[in-house]
Amino acid sequence: MDPAAYRDRFPILQDCVYLINHSLAAMPAAVEERLAEYARAWKTRGIRAWAEGWWQLPLTVGDQVGRIVGAPPGSVVMHQNVTVAEAVVLSCFDLQPPRNRIVYEEGNFPTVRYLYQAARGAEVVVVPEGEPLQDAIDERTLLVPFQHVLFKTSEIQDVEAVVRRAHEVGALVVLDCYQSAGSVPLDVTALDVDFAVGGSVKWLCGGPGAGWLYVRPDLVERLEPALVGWQAHARPFAFEPELEYAPGVARFLTGTPNVPALYAATAGYDVIEEVGVERIRETSVRRTELLTRLLREAGFEVTSPLDPKRRGGTVTVRTPGFEGVHAELAERGIVCDFRPETGLRLGPHFYNSEDEVRHAAAQIVEIVETGAFERHLGTAHVSRRARAGRRHA
């Protein structure tokens, strides 16, 4: 795949080296037209826009996400974000002993952790880093909300092993695919997950406000969410006083959808569908392999997996004074981020060229070697060791 063929569709790439796609991917130029389309519909069609597509957007857009993640039509709905999507899932269950355990990994994304910690009656079991999640799952486990790709280190998880164990003991899994969808091939049907969730700001290039929820088709009508609203009613426009769940996955909806966000998001999904996640992955592996090799050759400790089969789209690396390195990179037009535990995070997407990756690695080396990062740190932070340069062979 030639990334050059797509670069002009992402205007920000003309201004900087954009390597922060694990956080907020570059905006497709088509988003502007999509949002103008939304405004035109509101301006010219007014109230009629609801019947002309707006009301159905959480389902029609959900079907598009479904095509990217291996979900059949009618099994994905759109929500504001992952937190709301998982809250709807959680609301389907009574948290009563003996089956009230929620089991997840220590490195789970905080918003997910908070949701289950706050759930009344839940007994949360946190599995320490490095221990297999499946070993903690037993007959007391109700839900296993875990990540496909860990957000901190970009490590791909053994989903099959977790699903197998969960189903063996009658537990259900909620797979958080935020860091995989659009970057790492994903087939929620083949993985046999019960629920899957994700958002769109990262590799899907769809922007904020477009979270998604997949529910395994045979589960859909056996569940009754308590977090519900009129979009989940069988006849929402009859304004009936009593709840009757809609048939199909619409029962997992709440109230008025986030229409502009859903318009915008489709511009991202279109390009992801056009390029194809398999091709994206091939490019991603080449870029992250190169980055990993260059950074290790320079003597830095790469904290993301070294085996490309276990690595998602992001490379994480510890350098001396990496907060300062990050700030200096930003001044030099290289956009990435850092986490205290793992160091710099660099997430090239399919539109990033090999030259950009080489340039970023060379700049990191130069910034450390010359000490250019030091002026961004308080002098107290600059240790002799940091001045000496690289720490790890």
Selected from 179, 283, 316, 342, the binder of ligand PLP by CB under 6 A is 179
Q: CA quadruple 116, 118, 124, 128: dihedral positive or negative?
A: positive
Q: Nearest-CA neighbor of 2 among 268, 349, 283? A: 283
Backbone angles phi, psi at 153, to 5 degrees: -115, -5
Q: Which burial class, exposed, middle or buried, applies to 142 when counting CB atoms under 10 A from its CB (0-12, 13-18, 19+)? A: buried
Minimum separation from the CB atom of position 335 to ligand PLP (A)? 17
> Between the CA atoms of 314, 280, 207 and 108, what dihedral angle is there, to the nearest 10 degrees?
-40
Tokens of 44: 């010219």
CA distances from 43 to 153, 209, 235, 263, 282 (A): 45, 22, 27, 15, 43
Minimum separation from the CB atom of position 179 to ligand PLP (A)? 5
Selected from 199, 209, 305, 321, the binder of ligand PLP by CB under 6 A is 199
Q: What is the largest CA-CA distance in the chain?
A: 72
Measured from the CB atom, the residue of 178 and 214 that comes closer to ligand PLP is 178
Measured from the CB atom, the residue of 208 and 389 that comes closer to ligand PLP is 208
Measured from the CB atom, the residue of 176 and 356 that comes closer to ligand PLP is 176
The residue with its CB nearest to ligand PLP is 81
CB within 8 A of 2, min separation 6: which ones?
none
Binding segment for ligand PLP (CB under 6 A), chosen from 95-103, 116-124, 176-184, 312-320, is 176-184
Binding segment for ligand PLP (CB under 6 A), chosen from 93-101, 124-132, 175-183, 378-386, is 175-183
Minimum separation from the CB atom of position 212 to ligand PLP (A)? 10
Minimum separation from the CB atom of position 25 to ligand PLP (A)? 12
Rounded Cα distance between 212 and 62, Å, is 7
- Cα angle vertex 319, ends 355, 323, to 5°? 95
Measured from the CB atom, the residue of 3 and 343 that comes closer to ligand PLP is 343
Tokens of 263: 């318009």
Task: For residue 241, say if its preceding peptide bond is cis, omega within 30 degrees of 0.
Answer: no
Minimum separation from the CB atom of position 78 to ligand PLP (A)? 12
- Residue 21 touches ligand PLP, criterion: CB under 6 A: no
Measured from the CB atom, the residue of 182 and 211 that comes closer to ligand PLP is 211
Minimum separation from the CB atom of position 83 to ligand PLP (A)? 3
What string marks each residue from 78 to 117 as x (binds ligand PLP by CB under 6 A) or -? Answer: ---xxx-------------------------x-x------
- Residue 194 touches ligand PLP, criterion: CB under 6 A: no
The letter for the amino acid at 264 is: A
What element of type H or E holds 334? Answer: strand 334-335
Binding segment for ligand PLP (CB under 6 A), chosen from 42-50, 173-181, 339-347, 356-364, is 173-181
- Residue 154 touches ligand PLP, criterion: CB under 6 A: no
Q: Helix, strand, coil: what percent of the chain each, to 5?
A: 45, 15, 40
Q: Nearest-CA neighbor of 367 among 329, 330, 318? A: 329
Measured from the CB atom, the residue of 82 and 277 that comes closer to ligand PLP is 82
- # residues near ligand PLP by CB under 6 A: 12
Minimum separation from the CB atom of position 232 to ligand PLP (A)? 20
Selected from 145, 182, 207, 211, the binder of ligand PLP by CB under 6 A is 211
Number of Cβ within a 10 Å radius of residue 317? 27
Selected from 176, 194, 328, 374, the binder of ligand PLP by CB under 6 A is 176
Rounded Cα distance between 367 and 132, Å, is 38
Binding segment for ligand PLP (CB under 6 A), chosen from 7-15, 38-46, 75-83, 314-322, is 75-83
**Residue numbers at the binding site for ligand PLP (CB under 6 A):** 81-83, 109, 111, 147, 151, 176, 178-179, 199, 211
